[in-house]
Amino acid sequence: MKLSEAKEKYIQTWGTLATNWGINRTMAQVHALLLAEGRPLSTDEVMEALQISRGNANMNLRNLIEWGIVRKELVKGDRKEYFFAERDQWFLFKQLVKERKKREIEPVLNSISELKHVDEDTEEARQFTALMTEMENVTGKVFNIMDLAIKSDDHWLVGKITNLLK
């Protein structure tokens, strides 16, 4: 397989897989393109490579910057904005976990915390409150695990996961 074919397949596959994780396909493709190229690309280059509109490219580049996995870079003598994907895979993993925690786990915890305060004293209310408390405990553990992943270095976490799998 030629390099250009492999890059194209990677970009398409990454985009398809990302939808399974609740991430916009085009956003994942833009990220994959920036990773595969390994050099800063302009919005025009992203648009051309992925055959997407300027608005779509700008929106997804902005989202990737918000996630902390892409940054703008200046090219001396050029007025265009260029974008570069963070290539450190461990940093990338931790950023993704951090964002997923912030966008998914924290709102669930906040919601459950609110829902478990029922003003009724019935058996049904007690069962519901117990369910919410159990959900809060499990979600809290997931939150703590994600927090450990974010704060740890790769060797520590890989060692812990390896021990769990034994």
pLDDT at 165: 62
Which token pair is 119? 């003003």
What is the value of pTM for the model shown?
0.75
Split into its structural domains, the chain has a count of 2
Write the CATH number for 58.
Answer: 1.10.10.10
Q: Structural domain of residue 111, as residue ranges?
A: 89-165
Which domain-ending residue is among 64, 85, 106?
85
Mean pLDDT of the chain: 88
User: Are 74 and 123 part of one and the same domain?
Assistant: no
Edge-first strand order for the sheet with 70-73 is 41-42, 82-85, 70-73
User: Are 63 and 93 part of one and the same domain?
Assistant: no
Weakest mean pLDDT among 18-22, 78-82, 126-130: 18-22
Residues 45/34, Cβ–Cβ less than 8 Å: no
Handedness of CA 93, 96, 99, 104 (dihedral sign): negative
What is the arithmetic mean of pLDDT over 102-126?
Answer: 90
Which domain-ending residue is among 85, 120, 136?
85
Q: How confident is the model at residue 101 (pLDDT cuts 50, 70, 90)?
A: confident
Among 77, 102, 103, 98, smallest CA distance to 86 is for: 98
User: At CB < 8 A and 24+ separation, what contacts does 35-39 make?
Assistant: 35/85, 35/87, 36/7, 36/10, 36/11, 37/7, 38/87, 39/84
Instruction: Spell out where the chain has E strands.
Output: 41-42, 70-73, 82-85
